[in-house]
A and B are shown apart, each in its own frame.
Chain A
Amino acid sequence: MSFPEIARCDISWLDGSGPAAEIVISSRVRLARNLRGHRFSHHAGTSELDSILKDVVPRVADRDAFQDGWQLAMQECTPRQRQCLLEKHLISPYLVRDHQHSGVVISADLSKVVMVNEEDHLRTQIFQSGHNPVSACQATLALDNQLEEVIEFAFHEDFGYLTACPTNVGTGFRISTLIHLPGLVLASEIEKVLNSLRQLHFTVRGLYGEGSAVRGALFQISNLSIPAVRTA
């Protein structure tokens, strides 16, 4: 499939079919993973990053979850295409900024994404419609298991999956919900709710994640500490 098809393709998790979809637009799970025996992205040289990109992207794209999907090198995309990917939540602002040695693999329904050479070598994201965090976690674990069959991740028995930033070490999970709260905003009650959330170790961000502004009463609420997700 070519890039214009991505631009035209509907985002499946925006269809409002999930639980509590009148309030919660989407549930997203992000996994941070790094390759064993390689320096983290920010410390690796350009040849090491290119070699990771060349090695990892075809392995990921070959997994069942990405059949009929896309694999894109960021450097080969135009600035407008990168902006389009960002607006569809298919890449992060990091990949727009540091696009020279990074890439992305996207599933056909745009609900599963693996960014390569982001802050971590692999950033896996799964989106589902509505308030569906458990189902999104299960889907993410299943995809992670598929990836582990072909990629060996950096892991330590005490620390868990090793990440560039120690705040993500462990399971590497971050679970977010994109929630629309116009009533609380209009009633000026939103700050009370957000403060309570922060005290419960949740973080609140804007529509496009870390560093983005809150617009249109859309809030992205995520866990701060990393949950220890047990595998059944």
Chain B
Amino acid sequence: MKCQVCGENEASIHYIEIVEGQKTSQWVCASCAEKEGITPLEVSPLVHGNLGSFLGEMLKNPLVGRAREKNPPTLVCDTCGYDYNKLQENSQLGCPACYQAFRRQLLPMLRRYHGGVSHLGKLPKSLGPTAALRRETTRLKELLAQAIAAENYEEAARIRDSIRDLESQAEQTASASESTTAKPTETTDREPGSGGGGDEE
């Protein structure tokens, strides 16, 4: 496809502009894009497959940079003493508790890299059977808020019912596990203290 600005070069960038809900799109070539000040989104070391430099790039991102300036220069993890500056240098954290200590700084990077900050995958068994129900309830509550905001009340009512079902299931599971804990069976051979799990902060 030819560039829709100069009509000569081959277009390589699809420029989409949304102003007050009105979407317009245009195919442009690299040189016209440069003249118009259009910079492609998400062109980062990610697409070149270099994870280390990608993370470093993200942590130097202006948004993150602004957040960093607001923090004291000696931001450290209370648990392991790891310095936030080291994270920027070597793209690694010091201990599991660093995720909580540097949470605010990490969130923008995690959101961009993973597309979200809510874990949807496997849960350790040590968290107990209610953890999955709790997570699903949280997810449905977000969907409920979205449905209400979109004035989709039929969908909202359906989600509300699902939330009620899950909450009642969670209560039943919790009371069942309490009675199991009172009378240990052959399945309760875990180490002492492992039941709580999942709380690194």
Task: Name A residues whose Cβ lies closer than 8 Å to a Cβ of B.
Answer: 34, 36-40, 42-43, 119, 141, 144-145, 148-149, 152-162, 164-167, 169-171, 173, 198-199, 201, 203-205, 210, 224-231
Contact = CB atoms under 8 A, between A and B. Distances in A.
B67 interface: no
B46 A43 contact: no
A43 to B, nearest CB: 4
Q: How large is the interface on B (under 10, 10 to 19, 20 to 34, 35 or more residues)?
A: 35 or more
A164 B122 contact: no
Contacts of B198: 155-157
Interface of B: 46-49, 51, 54-55, 80, 82, 90-96, 99-100, 106, 109-110, 113-115, 117-127, 131, 135, 191, 194, 197-201
B113 A152 contact: no
A39 B120 CA distance: 25
B95 A148 contact: no
Contacts of B115: 225
21 contacts: A37-B96, A40-B96, A148-B125, A152-B126, A153-B124, A155-B124, A155-B200, A159-B99, A159-B117, A160-B121, A162-B96, A164-B93, A165-B92, A167-B55, A198-B48, A198-B49, A204-B49, A225-B114, A228-B120, A229-B122, A231-B123
Given A42-B90, A43-B82, A166-B106, A156 B99 contact: yes
A156 B82 contact: no
A173 B119 CA distance: 13
A154 B194 CA distance: 11
Q: Which A-B residue pairs are the 7 nearest by beta carbons?
A: A160-B119, A154-B96, A228-B120, A171-B121, A203-B49, A228-B121, A43-B94
Contact of B47 (A165, A169, A198): A198
Given A155-B197, A156-B200, A203-B49, A230 B106 contact: no
B45 to A, nearest CB: 11
User: Which among B113, B121, B124, B198 has the greatest number of chain A C-beta atoms within 10 A?
Assistant: B121
Given A198-B47, A228-B121, A159 B80 contact: no
B131 A157 contact: yes
Contacts of B131: 157
B10 to A, nearest CB: 15
A162 B92 contact: no
Given A166-B55, A167-B54, A225-B114, A158 B93 contact: no
Contact of A36 (B48, B92, B200): B200
Contacts of A230: 120-122
